[in-house]
Protein backbone atom coordinates (compact mmCIF):
# COMPACT_ATOMS: atom_id res chain seq x y z
CA UNK A 1 0.00 0.00 0.00
CA UNK A 2 2.81 2.38 0.93
CA UNK A 3 4.67 1.66 -2.32
CA UNK A 4 1.46 2.27 -4.27
CA UNK A 5 0.98 5.66 -2.61
CA UNK A 6 4.58 6.62 -3.35
CA UNK A 7 4.16 5.67 -6.99
CA UNK A 8 0.92 7.65 -7.20
CA UNK A 9 2.59 10.66 -5.56
CA UNK A 10 5.56 10.52 -7.93
CA UNK A 11 3.23 10.14 -10.90
CA UNK A 12 1.27 13.23 -9.85
CA UNK A 13 4.45 15.28 -9.35
CA UNK A 14 5.90 14.21 -12.68
CA UNK A 15 2.57 14.79 -14.40
CA UNK A 16 2.41 18.30 -12.92
CA UNK A 17 5.96 19.11 -14.08
CA UNK A 18 5.11 17.85 -17.57
CA UNK A 19 1.97 20.02 -17.66
CA UNK A 20 4.00 23.06 -16.59
CA UNK A 21 6.62 22.32 -19.25
CA UNK A 22 4.03 21.93 -22.01
CA UNK A 23 2.22 25.08 -20.89
CA UNK A 24 5.46 27.08 -20.90
CA UNK A 25 6.34 25.74 -24.36
CA UNK A 26 2.95 26.89 -25.62
CA UNK A 27 3.49 30.30 -24.03
CA UNK A 28 6.88 30.67 -25.71
CA UNK A 29 5.49 29.58 -29.08
CA UNK A 30 2.72 32.19 -28.79
CA UNK A 31 5.33 34.80 -27.85
CA UNK A 32 7.50 34.01 -30.85
CA UNK A 33 4.48 34.18 -33.14
CA UNK A 34 3.71 37.60 -31.63
CA UNK A 35 7.30 38.70 -32.39
CA UNK A 36 6.95 37.63 -36.02
CA UNK A 37 3.53 39.30 -36.38
CA UNK A 38 4.87 42.52 -34.87
CA UNK A 39 7.91 42.53 -37.17
CA UNK A 40 5.72 42.10 -40.25
CA UNK A 41 3.02 44.56 -39.16
CA UNK A 42 5.20 47.45 -37.95
CA UNK A 43 8.01 48.03 -40.43
CA UNK A 44 7.67 51.79 -40.43
CA UNK A 45 6.41 54.50 -38.11
CA UNK A 46 4.14 53.64 -35.19
CA UNK A 47 1.74 56.02 -33.49
CA UNK A 48 2.99 55.21 -29.98
CA UNK A 49 4.57 52.36 -28.05
CA UNK A 50 1.06 51.10 -27.34
CA UNK A 51 0.86 49.90 -30.95
CA UNK A 52 3.51 47.24 -30.49
CA UNK A 53 2.41 45.79 -27.16
CA UNK A 54 1.98 42.11 -26.52
CA UNK A 55 2.12 40.10 -23.32
CA UNK A 56 4.03 36.88 -22.69
CA UNK A 57 5.44 37.08 -19.17
CA UNK A 58 5.11 40.81 -18.50
CA UNK A 59 2.20 42.08 -16.40
CA UNK A 60 0.89 44.14 -19.28
CA UNK A 61 2.10 44.66 -22.85
CA UNK A 62 5.72 45.43 -22.04
CA UNK A 63 7.11 42.28 -23.69
CA UNK A 64 6.04 43.64 -27.06
CA UNK A 65 7.48 47.10 -26.42
CA UNK A 66 10.81 45.60 -25.34
CA UNK A 67 10.92 43.37 -28.42
CA UNK A 68 10.24 46.34 -30.72
CA UNK A 69 12.91 48.50 -29.03
CA UNK A 70 15.54 45.76 -29.08
CA UNK A 71 14.84 44.98 -32.73
CA UNK A 72 15.08 48.63 -33.80
CA UNK A 73 17.99 49.73 -31.65
CA UNK A 74 21.60 48.76 -32.19
CA UNK A 75 21.98 47.19 -28.74
CA UNK A 76 25.65 46.72 -27.89
CA UNK A 77 25.23 44.70 -24.68
CA UNK A 78 22.82 41.75 -24.54
CA UNK A 79 22.46 41.98 -20.77
CA UNK A 80 19.70 43.13 -18.45
CA UNK A 81 19.09 44.05 -14.83
CA UNK A 82 15.63 43.91 -13.29
CA UNK A 83 14.67 44.46 -9.69
CA UNK A 84 11.39 44.00 -7.91
CA UNK A 85 10.75 40.66 -9.65
CA UNK A 86 9.18 38.59 -6.82
CA UNK A 87 9.36 34.97 -8.09
CA UNK A 88 10.17 36.14 -11.65
CA UNK A 89 7.12 34.47 -13.12
CA UNK A 90 5.68 37.85 -14.11
CA UNK A 91 8.43 40.21 -15.20
CA UNK A 92 9.71 42.47 -17.95
CA UNK A 93 12.78 40.41 -18.83
CA UNK A 94 11.76 36.73 -18.58
CA UNK A 95 10.69 36.55 -22.24
CA UNK A 96 13.84 38.40 -23.26
CA UNK A 97 15.91 35.86 -21.33
CA UNK A 98 14.16 32.82 -22.82
CA UNK A 99 13.59 34.14 -26.35
CA UNK A 100 16.90 35.94 -26.99
CA UNK A 101 19.05 34.21 -24.34
CA UNK A 102 20.42 37.43 -22.85
CA UNK A 103 22.49 37.41 -19.68
CA UNK A 104 20.72 38.90 -16.66
CA UNK A 105 20.68 39.99 -13.05
CA UNK A 106 17.45 39.96 -11.05
CA UNK A 107 17.02 41.30 -7.51
CA UNK A 108 14.19 41.01 -5.01
CA UNK A 109 13.88 41.75 -1.31
CA UNK A 110 12.43 38.32 -0.53
CA UNK A 111 14.91 35.48 -0.08
CA UNK A 112 12.05 32.99 -0.48
CA UNK A 113 11.21 34.36 -3.93
CA UNK A 114 14.86 34.26 -5.01
CA UNK A 115 15.28 30.70 -3.74
CA UNK A 116 12.22 29.74 -5.77
CA UNK A 117 13.82 31.17 -8.91
CA UNK A 118 17.05 29.28 -8.21
CA UNK A 119 15.14 26.01 -7.86
CA UNK A 120 13.63 26.25 -11.34
CA UNK A 121 15.06 25.04 -14.65
CA UNK A 122 15.32 28.59 -15.96
CA UNK A 123 18.20 29.22 -13.55
CA UNK A 124 20.56 26.57 -14.95
CA UNK A 125 19.38 26.85 -18.53
CA UNK A 126 20.37 30.53 -18.76
CA UNK A 127 23.10 32.87 -17.53
CA UNK A 128 20.92 34.35 -14.81
CA UNK A 129 22.09 35.80 -11.49
CA UNK A 130 19.45 36.11 -8.75
CA UNK A 131 20.19 38.16 -5.64
CA UNK A 132 18.02 38.52 -2.51
CA UNK A 133 18.40 42.05 -1.19
CA UNK A 134 16.17 44.90 -0.06
CA UNK A 135 17.25 47.71 -2.36
CA UNK A 136 18.14 51.18 -1.08
CA UNK A 137 19.88 54.12 -2.68
CA UNK A 138 22.86 53.35 -0.47
CA UNK A 139 23.38 49.76 -1.64
CA UNK A 140 22.23 49.62 -5.25
CA UNK A 141 25.61 50.24 -6.89
CA UNK A 142 27.31 47.84 -4.50
CA UNK A 143 24.83 45.10 -5.48
CA UNK A 144 25.69 45.63 -9.13
CA UNK A 145 29.44 45.48 -8.45
CA UNK A 146 29.22 42.38 -6.28
CA UNK A 147 27.10 40.65 -8.95
CA UNK A 148 29.60 41.42 -11.70
CA UNK A 149 27.52 43.96 -13.61
CA UNK A 150 29.11 47.24 -14.65
CA UNK A 151 29.33 49.55 -17.65
CA UNK A 152 26.98 49.03 -20.60
CA UNK A 153 23.87 46.92 -20.11
CA UNK A 154 21.08 46.55 -22.60
CA UNK A 155 18.08 47.03 -20.30
CA UNK A 156 17.52 48.20 -16.73
CA UNK A 157 14.01 47.65 -15.34
CA UNK A 158 13.08 49.38 -12.06
CA UNK A 159 9.96 48.43 -10.11
CA UNK A 160 10.24 48.50 -6.32
CA UNK A 161 6.90 50.13 -5.44
CA UNK A 162 8.38 52.92 -3.38
CA UNK A 163 11.77 54.57 -3.65
CA UNK A 164 11.99 54.12 -7.43
CA UNK A 165 12.96 57.75 -8.10
CA UNK A 166 15.61 57.90 -5.37
CA UNK A 167 17.22 54.61 -6.37
CA UNK A 168 17.16 55.55 -10.06
CA UNK A 169 18.85 58.83 -9.16
CA UNK A 170 21.76 57.06 -7.42
CA UNK A 171 22.56 54.46 -10.08
CA UNK A 172 26.02 55.22 -11.45
CA UNK A 173 28.12 52.18 -12.29
CA UNK A 174 25.91 50.72 -15.02
CA UNK A 175 25.08 52.50 -18.26
CA UNK A 176 21.81 51.05 -19.62
CA UNK A 177 20.80 51.58 -23.22
CA UNK A 178 17.11 51.19 -22.32
CA UNK A 179 15.58 52.05 -18.95
CA UNK A 180 12.10 50.94 -17.89
CA UNK A 181 10.73 52.51 -14.73
CA UNK A 182 7.35 52.24 -13.07
CA UNK A 183 5.55 55.52 -12.48
CA UNK A 184 2.54 56.36 -10.34
CA UNK A 185 -0.14 57.84 -12.58
CA UNK A 186 -2.20 58.85 -9.53
CA UNK A 187 0.43 61.59 -9.00
CA UNK A 188 -0.58 63.16 -12.33
CA UNK A 189 1.48 64.20 -15.34
CA UNK A 190 2.09 67.92 -14.83
CA UNK A 191 4.52 68.19 -11.92
CA UNK A 192 7.63 66.30 -10.74
CA UNK A 193 6.63 64.71 -7.43
CA UNK A 194 7.77 61.64 -5.55
CA UNK A 195 7.29 60.02 -2.17
CA UNK A 196 9.93 61.20 0.35
CA UNK A 197 12.85 58.83 0.67
CA UNK A 198 12.46 56.20 3.37
CA UNK A 199 15.06 53.44 3.45
CA UNK A 200 12.45 51.00 4.78
CA UNK A 201 9.61 52.02 2.47
CA UNK A 202 6.95 49.31 2.12
CA UNK A 203 4.03 50.20 -0.14
CA UNK A 204 1.35 48.27 1.71
CA UNK A 205 2.49 49.63 5.07
CA UNK A 206 2.79 53.28 4.08
CA UNK A 207 -0.87 53.57 3.17
CA UNK A 208 -3.57 50.92 3.25
CA UNK A 209 -4.88 51.93 -0.19
CA UNK A 210 -1.78 50.63 -2.04
CA UNK A 211 -1.87 53.85 -4.07
CA UNK A 212 0.94 55.73 -2.36
CA UNK A 213 4.34 54.91 -3.89
CA UNK A 214 6.89 55.94 -6.47
CA UNK A 215 7.00 59.09 -8.55
CA UNK A 216 5.08 60.95 -11.22
CA UNK A 217 5.90 60.52 -14.89
CA UNK A 218 7.16 64.11 -14.98
CA UNK A 219 9.66 63.41 -12.18
CA UNK A 220 11.06 60.39 -13.98
CA UNK A 221 11.26 62.17 -17.35
CA UNK A 222 13.28 65.03 -15.86
CA UNK A 223 15.59 62.64 -14.01
CA UNK A 224 16.14 60.51 -17.11
CA UNK A 225 16.86 63.62 -19.18
CA UNK A 226 19.50 64.74 -16.67
CA UNK A 227 21.16 61.34 -17.04
CA UNK A 228 21.28 61.49 -20.83
CA UNK A 229 18.09 59.66 -21.81
CA UNK A 230 15.12 60.50 -24.01
CA UNK A 231 11.52 59.58 -23.31
CA UNK A 232 10.07 57.08 -25.79
CA UNK A 233 6.62 56.68 -24.21
CA UNK A 234 4.74 54.42 -21.80
CA UNK A 235 2.67 51.30 -22.01
CA UNK A 236 -1.03 51.81 -22.64
CA UNK A 237 -2.16 50.89 -19.11
CA UNK A 238 -0.11 53.72 -17.63
CA UNK A 239 2.42 52.18 -15.27
CA UNK A 240 5.78 51.72 -17.05
CA UNK A 241 7.82 54.43 -18.78
CA UNK A 242 10.51 53.70 -21.38
CA UNK A 243 13.67 55.75 -21.84
CA UNK A 244 16.44 55.29 -24.42
CA UNK A 245 20.02 56.53 -24.07
CA UNK A 246 20.58 59.57 -26.26
CA UNK A 247 23.34 57.98 -28.37
CA UNK A 248 20.84 55.27 -29.40
CA UNK A 249 17.64 57.29 -29.50
CA UNK A 250 18.10 58.71 -32.99
CA UNK A 251 17.50 55.24 -34.41
CA UNK A 252 13.88 55.27 -33.22
CA UNK A 253 13.14 58.98 -32.84
CA UNK A 254 11.36 59.25 -36.19
CA UNK A 255 9.71 55.86 -35.83
CA UNK A 256 7.48 56.94 -32.90
CA UNK A 257 4.96 59.60 -33.87
CA UNK A 258 3.61 60.29 -30.37
CA UNK A 259 5.97 59.82 -27.47
CA UNK A 260 3.27 60.07 -24.86
CA UNK A 261 2.48 58.98 -21.35
CA UNK A 262 -0.82 57.26 -20.67
CA UNK A 263 -2.93 57.73 -17.53
CA UNK A 264 -3.81 54.55 -15.66
CA UNK A 265 -7.26 52.98 -15.59
CA UNK A 266 -6.53 49.83 -13.61
CA UNK A 267 -8.17 49.75 -10.17
CA UNK A 268 -5.88 48.24 -7.54
CA UNK A 269 -6.92 50.32 -4.51
CA UNK A 270 -7.59 48.56 -1.20
CA UNK A 271 -9.53 49.26 1.97
CA UNK A 272 -8.10 48.97 5.48
CA UNK A 273 -8.85 45.25 5.49
CA UNK A 274 -6.92 44.71 2.27
CA UNK A 275 -9.98 44.23 0.06
CA UNK A 276 -10.12 45.72 -3.43
CA UNK A 277 -12.22 48.90 -3.61
CA UNK A 278 -11.93 49.48 -7.39
CA UNK A 279 -11.49 53.25 -7.10
CA UNK A 280 -10.84 55.09 -10.33
CA UNK A 281 -10.19 58.61 -11.55
CA UNK A 282 -9.84 61.39 -9.01
CA UNK A 283 -11.24 59.23 -6.21
CA UNK A 284 -7.83 57.56 -6.03
CA UNK A 285 -6.12 60.89 -5.48
CA UNK A 286 -8.61 61.88 -2.78
CA UNK A 287 -7.80 58.71 -0.83
CA UNK A 288 -4.13 59.68 -0.41
CA UNK A 289 -4.50 63.48 -0.46
CA UNK A 290 -3.04 63.87 3.06
CA UNK A 291 0.13 61.91 2.29
CA UNK A 292 3.45 63.77 1.93
CA UNK A 293 5.25 64.13 -1.38
CA UNK A 294 8.39 65.97 -2.44
CA UNK A 295 7.89 68.60 -5.12
CA UNK A 296 11.15 68.27 -7.00
CA UNK A 297 10.64 71.61 -8.76
CA UNK A 298 10.62 73.48 -5.43
CA UNK A 299 12.26 70.92 -3.09
CA UNK A 300 9.29 71.26 -0.74
CA UNK A 301 7.59 68.41 1.08
CA UNK A 302 3.85 69.02 1.02
CA UNK A 303 0.60 67.12 1.26
CA UNK A 304 -0.38 65.70 -2.10
CA UNK A 305 -3.86 67.21 -1.92
CA UNK A 306 -2.47 70.73 -1.49
CA UNK A 307 -0.92 70.75 -4.97
CA UNK A 308 -2.97 72.28 -7.76
CA UNK A 309 -2.82 71.28 -11.42
CA UNK A 310 -1.35 67.81 -11.04
CA UNK A 311 -3.32 66.62 -14.05
CA UNK A 312 -3.39 67.91 -17.60
CA UNK A 313 -6.73 68.07 -19.38
CA UNK A 314 -6.17 64.70 -21.09
CA UNK A 315 -5.50 63.03 -17.72
CA UNK A 316 -8.15 64.76 -15.64
Residues 15 and 54 in one domain: no
Q: pLDDT tens for residues 136-158?
A: 999 999 999 999 999 999 999 99
93 domain residue, yes or no: yes
312 domain residue, yes or no: no
315 domain residue, yes or no: no
Terminal Cα distance for the chain, rounded: 67
Residues 35 and 74 in one domain: no
Split into its structural domains, the chain has a count of: 2
Question: Sorting pLDDT into bands at 50, 70 and 90, what band is 7?
Answer: low
Displacement of CA 260 from its chain's centroid (Å) = 17
Q: pLDDT tens for residues 197-208?
A: 999 999 999 999
Displacement of CA 76 from its chain's centroid (Å) = 21
Query: Of 286, 267, 282, which is closest to residue 316 (Cα–Cα)?
Result: 282
Residues 32 and 79 in one domain: no
Judged on CB neighbours under 10 Å (0-12, 13-18, 19+), 255 is middle
17 domain residue, yes or no: yes
Q: What secondary structure letter does DSSP report for 259? A: -
* % of the chain exceeding 70 in pLDDT: 93
> Mean pLDDT throughout 172-190?
97
Residues 169 and 138 in one domain: yes
| Domain span including residue 56 | 43-306
Question: Sorting pLDDT into bands at 50, 70 and 90, what band is 313?
Answer: confident
Computed from CA positions of residues 146, 152, 155, 157, in that sequence, does the dihedral angle turn out positive or negative? positive
The model carries a pTM of 0.93
Residues 24 and 50 in one domain: no
Residues 75 and 191 in one domain: yes
Residues 133 and 263 in one domain: yes
Residues 199 and 251 in one domain: yes
Residues 96 and 215 in one domain: yes
What is the spatial distance between Cα 178 and Cα 233, in angstroms, rounded to a whole number?
12
Would you state the pLDDT for residue 23?
A: 76
> Mean pLDDT throughout 215-243?
98
Residues 10 and 70 in one domain: no
Question: Sorting pLDDT into bands at 50, 70 and 90, what band is 15?
Answer: low
Question: Sorting pLDDT into bands at 50, 70 and 90, what band is 24?
Answer: confident
Crossing angle of helices 62-72 and 246-253, rounded to 10°: 100
Q: What CATH number has the domain bearing residue 154?
A: 3.40.50.150
> Mean pLDDT throughout 22-32?
89
Strands (E) across the chain are located at 79-83, 103-108, 128-132, 151-158, 174-182, 193-194, 229-234, 240-245, 292-295, 300-303
Contact 52, 64 (CB under 8 A): yes
Question: Sorting pLDDT into bands at 50, 70 and 90, what band is 13?
Answer: very low
> Mean pLDDT throughout 243-259?
97
Indicate whether 9 pLDDT > 80: no
Would you state the pLDDT for residue 315?
A: 85
Residues 183 and 52 in one domain: yes
Would you state the pLDDT for residue 5?
A: 46
Backbone angles phi, psi at 134, to 5 degrees: -80, 115
Residues 177 and 93 in one domain: yes
1 domain residue, yes or no: yes
Amino acid sequence: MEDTLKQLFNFNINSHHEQVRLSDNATMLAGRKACWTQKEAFKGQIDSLADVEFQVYSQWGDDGIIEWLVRNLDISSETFIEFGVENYRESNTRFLLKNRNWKGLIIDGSENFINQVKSENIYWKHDLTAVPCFITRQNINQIFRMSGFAGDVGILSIDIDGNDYWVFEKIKNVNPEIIICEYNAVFGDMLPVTVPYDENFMRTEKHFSNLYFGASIKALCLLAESKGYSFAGTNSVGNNAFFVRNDKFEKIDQLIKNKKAFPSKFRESRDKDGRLTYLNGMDRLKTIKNMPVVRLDTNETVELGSIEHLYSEQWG
